[in-house]
């Protein structure tokens, strides 16, 4: 769909455009001067939960995440809303309030936006952030020997689908909503304080999809340990009943040719690694020489991290038991 842009806007004609269509990164980056750049992104989606306040907060956290994934600090945003004309005012108000309060938590001002009428609700943000050039995180900066860390568990897609089918308990719903509403602010601060270079956030393509983009861009491979990959506590319960969104199968169809699974890894576990995430965590690559600093810094800040694998010289992704 975006292919026509590449025939109109050539990267060589815009030397200040540091990150653009020719990469698989999470946001566009425009160099302002030798030390600073602007980061710009947009995202929106249909409701993943019934509570309108939570929906707005999750949509905001998800939109802000692309700036954090680049190592930037968001500061300004605009609402993007497509809402049914017969939607009660109190519902649309709660969606906007949820997003506004989540943005304020992040230190971001929402200064307006644009809305249209649509049959199915859609909501998100266009976000502007500031970046110190020395803190830029990209997908193509992996090196063999890097340790891979996740900052949120997986399972948001399968649980959102289970919720739509009325299967989740209140406790299960509260757990997954809590994770989806969590900002990636602390994870970004951890990455920049340790001078990391490679990162992405785990969203619609699932863990293996986004990791595939990283290794392809970097010319590397990866080895993951299934037992080390964190999952929301009830994720396997619903994975075993195959309560996955359609995007999980699409991801598997597209990205699985790059993946080699150990025989012991079950079908439901494999699908969880392709599960689309809404407002997922960051996937951070930590060089060996920075590993001790990273782990100490994460513990001191109380930022959750899970080491899930290593970057290797060879191509593709191996998932070991």
Q: What is the pLDDT of residue 13?
A: 79
Collect the ranges in the chain with pLDDT lower than 50: none
Q: What is the pLDDT of residue 26?
A: 74
In the sheet that 109-117 helps form, which strands lie side by side, from edge to edge?
17-19, 28-31, 36-45, 122-132, 73-83, 109-117
Q: What is the pLDDT of residue 229?
A: 98
Model's pTM, two decimal places? Answer: 0.95
Rounded to 5°, angle at Cα 61 from 305 and 306: 10
Q: What is the pLDDT of residue 4?
A: 63
Are residues 282 and 69 in contact, defined by beta-carbon separation less than 8 angstroms? yes
Q: What is the DSSP letter of 290?
A: G
Q: In the chain, where are the structural domains located?
A: 3-135, 147-320
> Domain 147-320: which topology?
Phosphoribosyl-aminoimidazole Synthetase; Chain A, domain 2 (3.90.650)
10: tokens are 């050539």
Q: What is the pLDDT of residue 29?
A: 95
List the CATH code of the domain at 3-135. 3.30.1330.10
């Amino acid at each position: 769909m975006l292919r026509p842009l590449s025939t109109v806007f050539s990267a060589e004609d815009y030397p200040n455009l540091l990150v653009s269509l020719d990469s698989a990164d999470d946001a566009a980056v425009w160099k302002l001067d030798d030390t600073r750049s602007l980061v710009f992104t947009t995202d929106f989606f249909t409701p993943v939960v019934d509570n309108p306040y939570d929906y707005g907060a999750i949509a905001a956290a998800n939109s802000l995440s692309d700036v954090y994934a680049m190592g930037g600090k968001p500061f300004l945003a605009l609402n993007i809303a497509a809402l049914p004309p017969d939607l009660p005012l109190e519902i649309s108000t709660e969606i906007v309030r949820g997003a506004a309060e989540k943005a304020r938590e992040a230190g971001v001002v929402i200064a307006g936006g644009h809305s249209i009428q649509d049959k199915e609700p859609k909501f998100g943000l266009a976000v502007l952030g500031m970046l110190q050039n020395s803190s830029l995180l990209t997908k193509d900066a992996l090196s063999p020997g890097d340790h891979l860390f996740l900052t949120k568990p997986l399972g948001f897609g399968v649980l959102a689908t289970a919720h739509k089918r009325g299967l989740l308990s209140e406790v299960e719903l509260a757990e997954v909503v809590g994770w989806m509403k969590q900002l990636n602010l602390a994870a970004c601060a951890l990455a920049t304080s340790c001078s990391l270079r490679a990162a992405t956030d785990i969203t619609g393509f699932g863990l293996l999809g986004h990791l595939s983009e990283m290794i392809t861009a970097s010319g590397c491979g990866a080895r993951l340990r299934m037992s080390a990959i964190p999952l929301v506590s009830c994720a396997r319960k619903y994975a075993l009943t195959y309560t996955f969104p359609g995007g999980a199968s699409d991801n598997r169809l597209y990205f699985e040719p790059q993946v080699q699974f150990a025989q012991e890894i079950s079908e439901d576990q494999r699908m969880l690694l392709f599960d689309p995430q809404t407002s997922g965590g960051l996937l951070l690559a930590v060089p060996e020489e920075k590993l001790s600093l990273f782990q100490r810094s994460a513990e001191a800040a109380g930022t959750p991290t899970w080491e899930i694998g290593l970057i290797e010289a060879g191509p593709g992704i191996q998932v070991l038991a």
